[in-house]
Amino acid sequence: MGKVKFMEANDVSLFIRFIHMGKAMIDYTAEGDLENFKRLFAEADDKEMMFWHVSKCFKAAVKAKKLNMIDFMIEELELPLKHECFQGYFHTFLFQCQEAEMEEDEEYDILFKIVLIGKY
C-alpha cells in the first residue's frame, strides 16, 4: 500500500485513474464481463498494485457467483489460495461449490475438485 499512498501524495491524477480502474474492474466482475476486466488489467502500469483491486474483484465474483471471473483470477492470474482476499470469502466459495455439487452444476464442481486436490 506504500506505492498507493505515494501515488496519492505525488500524482493525484494517476491516483484517481487507479481508483476509477478499480471501480470499473469490480463492476465488470459483478457483471461477469471477463473481456473488459482483462483489458483493464492489461492497461495497468503496475500489475502489483492492481492486485489490490483483484482481491476486491474476487470478493465481488464470489458474491455474484461469476465462475468465469473466479476461474480467471485463480488460474490465469495465479492468485494463491493463501492470498488475503480469500479470508472470509474462501469458505463462502467452498460452500457454493458444495451446493453446486449437490445440484450437479458441472462448472463449479470441476473448480471445487481442482481446489480440493490442492492444485493451488
For the chain, the farthest-separated pair of C-alpha atoms sits apart, in whole angstroms, at 52
Residue 120: predicted pLDDT: 42
| pLDDT value for 79 | 73
Identify the segments of the chain with pLDDT beneath 70: 1, 81, 83-90, 105-120
Model pLDDT, residue 89:
64
Identity at 30, one-letter amino acid code: A
Q: What pLDDT, on the 0 to 100 scale, is given for residue 113?
A: 59
- Cα separation, 19 vs 100, in Å, equals 34
Q: What is the pLDDT of residue 45?
A: 81
Q: What is the pLDDT of residues 52-77, one digit of tens each?
A: 888 889 888 878 888 889 888 888 88
- Cα of first residue to Cα of last residue in the chain, in angstroms, is 25
State if pTM tops 0.75: no
